[in-house]
């Protein structure tokens, strides 16, 4: 529901790391246990990137599945739906191994000599 | 899993990584073969990092002032404000209470809480980290100068009515509670698991309506425990006042647990 403001936060974070250089792409990792809608985030990025250094940037979203370790039977399971219960034995005492991630993992910057080029040709 | 992205023309798709890591000439995002020199920089920074840093600063201020803080969340209309009216009335003279009242535009809720001897700071949520759908750490921080923290025992942050967004944003609270109305049905814990998973207590409210509803309390509790096995629950009617004492006891326990 707040993907637009999240996009703004991503833009701010990216510009801090871009050090004044043109950004080609931004890699974001989103865990399945987050309520982030990739489609919505990608759409919001097309609005937020309308500013210097981000105009041509692509937002690439890597989705990470939810993985649980059961505190009872010890099984490690990958979730297909958001129910925090061990799929193997049904126990609710589980530890989240992955799925909570929400971070910018990397950015791609254009080389300095490429910065003055014109806009990208249409895809 | 593949990489999901959207193109200039609005099309979008997911596929395995075609963006090779590290500095090299490569195709960036489009498929036209337009060659550019790029350099990949590792960032690995949490997108809510700024919010979380300010939440930690809020928490430090709360701890320094010796005040316990509860973040109270719910859907719109579940009964947070009405419950708080009872709460403030019952705690008057027992605990010194402050309220941070989050609202998108109006002061209507804050007005309803006047007259109970509590310090109230209204936050309209136009300008924060995340916009209008929740309170975040910078918004709560902006309200703190309007509360006499050192003279308070407990601050209740009444979040914006919303089952999705508030769960994502720590504001510096010590505990999280939510109000859930029996009119919302049994399945919401499964549909909004991030919120239900994040709370320490669920106040199941409007139980005076149970005779008129098909609400299956046992099924709701099973769904709740599926996403949050250890969560505490109390049953209340903020209309009649039934059960409100249990909620007030829980709040009081938050304060006394900290004082020990």
Position B24 scores a pLDDT of 40
Q: Give the mutation candidate from B22, B43, B53 for the A interface (greatest A CB count, under 10 A).
A: B43
Nearest residue of chain A to residue B130 (CA atoms): A5
Please, are residues B74 and B161 in contact by the beta-carbon 8 Å criterion? yes
- Amino acid B229: pLDDT: 85
Determine the average pLDDT of the residues in A90-116.
83
Q: Which of B31, B48, B229 sits opposite A123 (nearest CB)?
A: B31
Would you call A84 and B39 a contact, using CB atoms and an 8 Å cutoff? no
The answer on pLDDT for A117 being more than 80 is: no
Q: Do residues B38 and B28 touch, judged by C-beta distance below 8 A?
A: yes
Cα distances (Å, whole numbers) of residue A3 to A23, A42, A49, B45, B185: 20, 9, 13, 17, 27
User: Based on the number of CB atoms within 10 Å of its own CB, is B4 exposed (0-12), middle (13-18) or buried (19 or more)?
Assistant: buried
The residue among A8, A27, A33, A53 with the most chain B CBs within 10 A of its CB, best to mutate, is: A27
pLDDT digits (tens, 9 = 90+) for A75-99: 999 988 877 788 888 877 788 899 9
ipTM (interface pTM): 0.81
Tens of pLDDT, residue by residue over A38-75, are 999 999 999 999 999 999 999 999 999 999 999 889 99
CA distance B89 to A7: 42
Structural domains of chain B sorted by starting position, each given as residue range(s) with its CATH number in brackets: 31-259 (3.40.50.300)
Going residue by residue through chain B, which has 260 residues, state the pLDDT in tens, using 9 for 90 and above: 455 566 556 566 655 544 443 434 344 455 444 555 899 999 999 999 989 999 999 999 999 999 999 999 999 999 999 999 999 999 999 999 999 998 766 778 888 888 888 999 988 776 555 556 889 898 999 999 999 999 999 999 999 999 988 998 999 999 999 999 999 999 999 888 889 999 999 999 999 999 999 999 999 999 999 888 889 999 999 999 999 999 999 999 999 988 77
Sheet holding A58-64, edge to edge: B12-15, B3-6, A58-64, A23-31, A102-110, B35-46, B24-27
Whether B123 contacts B109, CB under 8 Å: no
> Two tokens at B35?
């060659």
CA separation for the pair B200, B113 (Å, rounded) = 24
What's the confidence (pLDDT) of residue B36? 59
Would you state the pLDDT for residue A109?
97
pLDDT value for A119 = 58
Distance from CA of A73 to the nearest CA of B (A): 16
Chain B interface includes A53 (CB < 8 A)? no
DSSP designation for B147:
S
């Amino acid at each position: 529901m707040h993907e637009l403001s999240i996009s703004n936060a991503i833009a701010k974070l990216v510009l801090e790391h871009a050090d004044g250089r043109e950004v080609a792409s931004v890699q974001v990792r989103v865990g399945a246990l987050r309520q982030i809608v990739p489609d919505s985030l990608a759409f919001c990025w097309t609005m937020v990137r309308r500013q210097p250094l981000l105009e041509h940037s692509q937002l690439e979203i890597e989705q990470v599945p939810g993985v649980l370790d059961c505190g009872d039977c010890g099984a490690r399971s990958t979730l297909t739906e958001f129910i925090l219960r061990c799929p193997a034995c049904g126990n609710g005492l589980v530890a989240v191994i992955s799925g909570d991630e929400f971070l910018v993992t990397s950015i791609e910057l254009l080389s300095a000599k490429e910065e003055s080029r014109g806009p990208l040709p249409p895809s | 899993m593949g990489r999901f992205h959207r193109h200039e023309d609005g099309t979008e798709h997911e596929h395995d990584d075609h963006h090779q890591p590290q500095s090299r000439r490569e195709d960036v995002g489009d498929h036209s073969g337009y060659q550019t020199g790029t350099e990949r920089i590792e960032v690995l920074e949490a997108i809510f990092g700024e919010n979380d840093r300010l939440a930690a600063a809020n928490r430090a201020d709360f701890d320094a002032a010796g005040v316990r803080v509860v973040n109270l969340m719910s859907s719109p209309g579940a009964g947070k404000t009405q419950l708080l009216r009872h709460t403030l009335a019952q705690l008057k003279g027992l605990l010194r209470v402050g309220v941070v009242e989050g609202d998108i535009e109006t002061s209507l809720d804050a007005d309803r809480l006047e007259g109970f001897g509590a310090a109230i700071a209204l936050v309209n949520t136009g300008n924060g980290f995340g916009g209008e759908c929740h309170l975040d750490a910078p918004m709560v921080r902006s309200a703190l100068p309007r509360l006499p923290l050192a003279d308070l025992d407990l601050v209740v942050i009444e979040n914006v009515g919303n089952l999705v967004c508030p769960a994502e944003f720590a504001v510096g609270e010590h505990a999280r509670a939510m109000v859930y109305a029996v009119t919302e049905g049994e399945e919401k814990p499964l549909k909004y698991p991030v919120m239900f998973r994040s709370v320490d207590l669920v106040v199941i409210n409007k139980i005076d309506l149970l005779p008129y509803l098909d609400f299956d309390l046992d099924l709701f509790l099973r769904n709740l425990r599926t996403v949050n096995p250890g969560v505490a629950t109390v049953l209340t009617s903020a209309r009649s006042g039934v059960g409100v004492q249990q909620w007030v006891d829980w709040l009081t326990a938050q304060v006394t647990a900290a004082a020990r």
